[in-house]
Amino acid sequence: MVTIIGGGVAGSALAGALARHGTPVTLYERQPKPQGGGAFLFIDGRGHRALTALGVDESALRAASYPLTGGLEYTDSAGHHGATPGQGHRFWLRRNLMAILTDFVTATRAETRFATAVTDLTAIHDDLIIAADGVDSTVRAHLEPDRTPQYAGDVVLYGMTTEPLTLPTTPATLHFFAELSSTGNLSSTLGHIWRPGDPAALWFLRLPRPPLPGSDDLSLRPVGEWADRIRTATPNNRALIDRFLATTESVHVSNARNVPLDTAAPPTDSTLLIGDADHAITPAAGIGARDALEDAQAVYRALVSGTSPALAMAARRRTILAERETATRARQAVQRGPHPHSTE
């Protein structure tokens, strides 16, 4: 018997996969049903391979998302420009992904308990508890009270226009524009994506600054509350940002946070943390959903093969730490190069 706490992307995918294999699973989710809201995300090829390995229908995934045919483009206010091809990246509205995964779970014999928060782990007597309950994980707080989320240095705003836009930038491309201060420091990063015929353009703004009071999710706010600060932070993109502000009603505001992994207690075969509950990383890294899905895949493989899920997660942690160290070294190398102000 397996209990999964948290019905987000990783928790739902893992619950559905295990139940399809015949493993008795109970999935708890504190929301009445998994929420998608207006959030959007980008998942690379590795994340999609994990989804299909867990049994999610590939045709459904492709129908509900679209590829970044133009890859990722980076520009800064000093005139530097660069581009990288997508690594199998696809654009998702979170609500569309959650609809697929909710159907994936409910089509099985998994027991789903929506609108049910788990506050007492001692009341659960299954063989294994898997916590996929996000950056503010109640399970992690119970097991490792000192391993708390840390502010990653950015306040992030996410916006969605209320009407289609035709923009002067390449469609189906994730664009980043970094504003540099007079001293060369990063003062903001504006990102956006659009496609002809889509009902909305999506945009975000990262602001390096002290954190706002409150939790990671500071909720939707009227765009007017932030309009002046957004304009001030984007002096070299005024025409573009004015179009976004004129066609956006609200922005989702959040403090970007990390959950430290290098101090984590070893996983056990009775209780595991996966995804953001174990190793949340700032959205600027662009890998959180992928890492969570690969966790789910590793734990699934261990359980169906009769091997240790704790050892599987220990191996995942080593991989994650190594990949993040490699990414850090790469960023440092760029900063030492001829264009010292990388946008990512």
pLDDT tens digits, one per residue of 86-127: 999 999 999 999 999 999 999 999 999 999 888 777 778 778
What is the 8-class DSSP label of residue 243?
H
Mean pLDDT of the chain: 92
Q: Which helix (H) or strand (E) holds 208?
A: strand 202-208
Q: How would residue 216 be classed by pLDDT, with cut points 50, 70 and 90? A: low
Lowest mean pLDDT among 52-61, 119-128, 136-145, 153-162: 119-128
The answer to whether 193 and 172 have CB atoms below 8 angstroms apart is yes
Type of residue numbered 118: V
Q: How would residue 35 be classed by pLDDT, with cut points 50, 70 and 90? A: low
pTM of the entire predicted model? 0.93
In the beta sheet, which residues pair with residue 231? none
So what's the pLDDT on residue 339? 41
Residue matched to tokens 């930038």 = 169
Phi, psi of 334 (to 5 degrees): -65, -40
Type of residue numbered 70: G
The answer to whether 176 and 190 have CB atoms below 8 angstroms apart is yes
Residue 81, classed as helix, strand or coil, is: strand
So what's the pLDDT on residue 32? 85
CA proximity to 234, closest of 159, 171, 288, 298 = 159
Q: Per the structure block, which two tokens stand in for 68?
A: 């970044």
So what's the pLDDT on residue 140? 97
In the beta sheet, which residues pair with residue 76? 178
Q: Per the structure block, which two tokens stand in for 275?
A: 């995804």
The pLDDT of residue 335 is above 90: no
* Distance between start and end Cα atoms, the chain: 43
Cα–Cα distance between 212 and 336 in angstroms, integer?
A: 32
The pLDDT of residue 41 is above 50: yes
Q: Per the structure block, which two tokens stand in for 180?
A: 């540099």
CA proximity to 71, closest of 196, 173, 204, 192 = 173
Cα–Cα distance between 226 and 158 in angstroms, integer?
A: 11
Sheet holding 202-208, edge to edge: 81-84, 72-76, 174-180, 186-193, 202-208, 150-160, 250-258, 217-222
Fold classification of 2-36+94-149+259-336 (topology level): FAD/NAD(P)-binding domain (3.50.50)
Residue matched to tokens 């708890």 = 28
How many C-beta atoms surround the C-beta of residue 316 within 10 A? 21
Type of residue numbered 147: R
So what's the pLDDT on residue 36? 61
Q: Per the structure block, which two tokens stand in for 133?
A: 């309950």
List, in sequence order, the alpha helices (H) in 119-204.
138-143
